[in-house]
């Protein structure tokens, strides 16, 4: 097969058609890029181009097939609604705090009519838009741009505080329904802003929807409807992906039936079972352990892990990627091994 362009490769794998090699991308990569450049997120986003040149530099260096349009700040837009944020240490993940002191009183007062106005007035959102626009200008049509920001369920949990939010689901489901309705609109508006500035793929990240945190019935009751509503609100997007952390293999069938095109999953998901459950309708993206050999092991160990994943897939729809955002201190040589495995192991081997 002739060598494909990155976009041709992604289009083919998502259509479950033959590819010249297994596609490779990062889930985000922002922490790694910022740490490699010795920049905090505030410094990165404060650059004239929003840090776009750094993102394109490193994603081209490691030859990813997709580029994150807003690296590293997946919950930062919640600052527009009062959530405190800490993004001032190089390599440290975005730390977004809760906003409510009395959810029962404050959630009913949330105003969906001012969401876009508040987002556009926020400095972090301005930085995200600036970064996305400039990544698009630098990448052009070479690769698809992926927007990875928090999905509705995780946004709601952050605004309340995760532990309190889970209790609220049990004690005050009507309030949770109101809050998720609001955060679905926030997530949709943020994705719309990114699309207006060049983003092609929407990937709401739902770490709080992990199988390590909530049950499968809770996932299907709360998370799936929110993702379906979000997807319906974004017809302008070419593709709709989702990321869920942790032991979330049981999520595959529900995500498949919700119309998600690719599931970015953690290393705790059994790849063979996930691909069986995908039934040729959902691509599995991942599931290299980001805190294992990739971060602390040798290049040879990373290469062996990636080769094993490709062989397990046996040509079924797969994109090789870390199972979550890559550790800031991940060695460059280890990252290169992911691409090398994609190039060396024939698809379907």
Averaged pLDDT for residues 177-187: 98
Instruction: Spell out the residues 6+ positions from residue 276 whose beta carbon is closer than 8 angstroms to its own.
Output: none
Full-model pTM: 0.95
The pLDDT of residue 92 is: 66
What is the per-residue pLDDT across 237-265, written as a single tens digit (0 to 9) for each? 999 999 999 999 999 999 999 999 999 99
Question: How far is 100 from 246, CA to CA, in rounded Å?
Answer: 27
Class of the CATH domain delimited by 6-344: alpha beta
Closest by CA to 343, choosing from 7, 117, 9, 8, is 9
- Tokens encoding 274: 């996930």
Number of H helices, E strands in the chain: 17, 9
- CB-based contacts of 62, cutoff 8 Å, min separation 6: 332, 335, 336, 338, 339
pLDDT, residue 91, reads: 64
pLDDT at 93: 64
Residue 294 has what pLDDT? 96
CA distance 149 to 94: 12
User: So what's the pLDDT on residue 144?
Assistant: 98
pLDDT (tens digit per residue) in 258-303: 999 999 999 999 999 999 999 999 999 999 999 999 999 999 999 9
b/e code 31-51 from CB counts within 10 Å (16+ = b): bbbbbbbebbbbebbebebbb
Taking the C-alpha atoms of residue 262 and residue 330, their distance in angstroms, rounded to an integer, is 25
> Rounded to the nearest 10 degrees, what angle do helices 173-196 and 162-171 cross at?
130
Q: What is the mean pLDDT of the chain?
A: 94
Collapsed DSSP state (helix, strand, coil) of residue 18 = coil
Rg (CA), the chain: 19
Question: Which range among 27-31, 72-76, 244-248 shows the weakest confidence by mean pLDDT?
Answer: 72-76
242 with 251: CB under 8 angstroms? Answer: no
CA 169, CA 205: separation in Å to the nearest integer?
A: 20
Report d(CA 26, CA 145) in Å as an integer.
Answer: 12
Helix (H) or strand (E) holding 286: strand 283-288
pLDDT at residue 198 greater than cutoff 80: yes
| Cβ neighbours for 192, distance < 8 A, ≥ 6 positions apart | 234, 236
């Amino acid at each position: 097969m002739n060598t494909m362009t990155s976009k041709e490769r992604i289009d083919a794998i998502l259509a479950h058609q033959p590819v010249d090699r297994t596609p490779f991308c990062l889930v985000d990569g922002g922490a790694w890029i910022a740490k490699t450049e010795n920049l905090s997120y505030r410094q990165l986003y404060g650059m004239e181009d929003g840090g776009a040149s750094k993102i394109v530099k490193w994603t081209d260096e490691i030859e990813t097939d997709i580029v994150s349009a807003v690296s590293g700040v997946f919950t930062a837009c919640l600052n527009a609604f009062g959530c405190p944020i800490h993004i001032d240490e190089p390599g440290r993940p975005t730390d977004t705090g809760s906003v409510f002191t009395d959810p029962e009183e404050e959630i009913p007062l949330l105003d969906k009519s001012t969401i876009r106005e508040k987002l556009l007035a926020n400095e972090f959102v301005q930085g995200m838009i600036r970064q996305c626009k400039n990544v698009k200008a630098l990448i052009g049509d070479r690769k698809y741009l992926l927007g990875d920001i928090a999905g509705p369920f995780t946004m709601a949990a952050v605004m309340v505080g995760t532990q309190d939010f889970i209790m609220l689901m049990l004690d005050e489901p009507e309030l949770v329904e109101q809050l998720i309705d609001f955060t679905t609109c926030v997530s949709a508006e943020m994705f719309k802003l990114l699309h207006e500035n060049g983003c092609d793929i929407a990937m709401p990240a739902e770490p709080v929807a992990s199988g390590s945190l909530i049950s499968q019935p809770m996932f299907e009751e709360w998370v799936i409807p929110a993702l379906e509503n979000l997807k319906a609100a974004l017809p302008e997007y070419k593709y709709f992906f989702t990321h869920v952390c942790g032991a979330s293999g049981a999520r595959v069938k529900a995500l498949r039936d919700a119309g998600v095109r690719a599931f970015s999953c953690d290393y705790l998901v059994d790849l063979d079972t996930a691909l069986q459950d995908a039934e040729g309708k959902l691509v599995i993206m991942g599931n290299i352990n980001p805190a294992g050999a990739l971060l602390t092991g040798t290049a040879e160990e990373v290469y062996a892990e990636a080769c094993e994943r490709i062989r397990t897939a046996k040509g079924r729809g797969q994109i090789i990627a870390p199972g979550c955002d890559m550790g800031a201190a991940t060695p460059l040589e280890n990252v290169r091994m992911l691409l090398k495995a994609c190039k060396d192991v024939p698809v379907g081997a």
